[in-house]
Structure 1
Amino acid sequence: MPSVPEPSVPGGFAETYRLQQARYPEQGPGWQPVHTVYVPADRFSARTVAEWGERALSLLKAHLAGPDEVAEVFDVPSGLAGVVHEMVLRKLSTEPVEDLRVDFEDGYGVRPGPVEDGHVAQAVEAVAALHAAGALPRRWGPRVKSFADGDPARSVRTLHLFLAGVVERVGELPGGFTVTFPKVLMEGYLGQFAQVLGELEAELGVRLRFEMQVEAPQTLPFLRGDLNESLGGRLAAAHFGVFDYTAALGLPPHEQRLDHPACDHARHVMQTAFAGTGVELSDGSLAAAPASDRAGDVHGLWRRHAELVRHSLRHGFYQGWDMHPSHLVSRFATVYAFHLARYDSYRERVLAWEERRSAGGGVMDEPATIRTLAAALRRADAALP
């Protein structure tokens, strides 16, 4: 065999590889909430989480008596319906809300300064009471007003009062805190908000991360893989806002829906920009509640919500917004059925690959597919109660 000189490493390779590892850490999916519940700040109290759970349980017991109803309303195979029903019942009884936002933006509106200050103080007391009772959701925090509204001082004041108040009342910032930053129409707002967080970190001795909302077509062009890096690693997630986004595109009101092709495009841009970065993705909401407590109206709402949740899941968005207690039933039922339907077949394919044997059924899995199967199993394990 002829001798060849030792190959030289291209100049700059070490730095490029370091950037790759920092920007795309290749970490597998950990726990991510399946939903975020938004509650207007003036209606938020220490009873909110329990009230949502109680209302959802009441609807389930009244209109989803057992596996047959689960199979019929949510199009769940009969073999899974009993397991799904039991899981949803247990979830609503123990942890009805995984992620909570105290909303000072669209769901709250514009109030005089002293009034909003008062609602911040009220929210702080509620958070402290939930924490003391061991009932604070695993993720929690406020949604502040957008800088795009032209009044960043109000947004910053609310966040400062909220954080300082919680730290003072609790003695620390409880785990799971995140703040949602809406209507990011200009990239500069992200850097300015990250600067605000840096100043609050220095003052309060805490580490802060935030979620940006993708609610306008103007936002899509500056989504990219190094965005979190440019913000000092403070960008935790990107959440899609269906109604502002579709309105900005000029879609007619009856087409403002999560499964519109225009929304699919936005979600795919978000996925492309943040793939491999560790920035979580969340879908938006359904702005509807049952027209009445009659079974037909409740089932109709659940069917529509389940359609949208399935659409999100098929597109790789494993989290969404819930705006009404009824949504908890359809959210959990649909998520659990989605993960359970293929769990055993995914596990068999991974085991077959690890044992270097055929999985059967004519399947020839590639390494990338095996990684995806393993990730799906981890995601299911984290989501199922």
Structure 2
Amino acid sequence: MLICYISMCLLCTIMQYAEEEKNYTNIDSLPDEMLFRILLELEPRELYESAMLVCRRWYKIIDTRNFIQEHLEHSRPGLLIVGSNYKCPTFVSVSAGRGGGKIDKFDYPHKFSSLYWLTCNGLAVEEYDHPSKRNGNTYNHFIKNHTTNKRFALPPFSGYDYYSCMGYAPASNEYKVVRLYPRNLESSILTLGVDKSWRYIDTTHISSEEVAKLLRYRPLVTEGFVHWVGWGRTCILSLNIQTEIITETRIPQERLRITIFLSTWRSVTMLRGSRSGLSWDVWEMTMKPNGKSGEWKKVPEIDLEAQKCRMEQHLECTLVPEGLYPVGWLNYMEVLVLCISENWSAGKDCVFYNVGTQEIQFFNLGCVRAAYIHKNSLVWFDHT
């Protein structure tokens, strides 16, 4: 809302200046490039429900692939925090600011239909959650943009899959949905707005044991890839959304460490916790330019030992070994979000640790079940 207010003040200032100079210039005389940059500062919901209705010119600027894509890249990613009521998550993000912005928290204004959703650039995969909408063993999924309320039904499929997900291929500007069948060692894919039926993904070059075990885990989505990694596994499987090829990358091994994998959207991170549960070695995996494998590098560790007394005072509890559990990143790797692992089901305040400034903030988010990177957007298939 602050950005919206600033943008509108800027428009008013321009118009006021023109009036004071006795110039008959008005908002309609602003160059398209200037108006384009100003509109980029508005939230997707404000663009869709207000700005697009101002006039035909504004509509034509906003309703273009170029604007929607640049607005998406301009937006800062947040986290959808899922609690016991999975249909009503909480959205948290980092506002822009010098030296690190503040944490913004509010209830997500839209409801999800079921638990089986993952979001990608503002598009969500959801399942019809009412038995009357199912046809025997045939399951129906759809894609929805909650900002524009547009919905697209996916071709039905038979049998229960594990975690359907969606990935984005920036080179072709395509969105693809992936279905997983670990029992049959099969996966299939569909390009939104192009395909009318599902296509199989070749996994014959991957160990059948790895496929069977890893495809049971909820995937991590980064730009251009979908990744599967599980507890105690020695490798991570990565599906290149553009080429539709799955590759394996070995995981740096170290025994007796709690290991957690999180997506930053740009990369996959691996956090290995100490016995105290207050410090982690951090590794980051980025895909090589050829997309055939990933490359791990160690980044500065995160150590909250010095903050233990302050956290215990605020949380009004004693942090036992392995007492904090990382659940997600904000703004790529700017802020790490952690919850109290011993009260995972009961719910406590979450800890937001700014890696750069080493500042800590606390928010009571209730029962934390999962966290997913999310951007609100105007993205839809007719702009691909």
Q: Which has the higher helix share?
A: 1
Q: Which has the higher strand share?
A: 2
Higher RCO by CA contacts (8 Å cutoff, separation 6 or greater): 1
TM-score (norm 2): 0.28
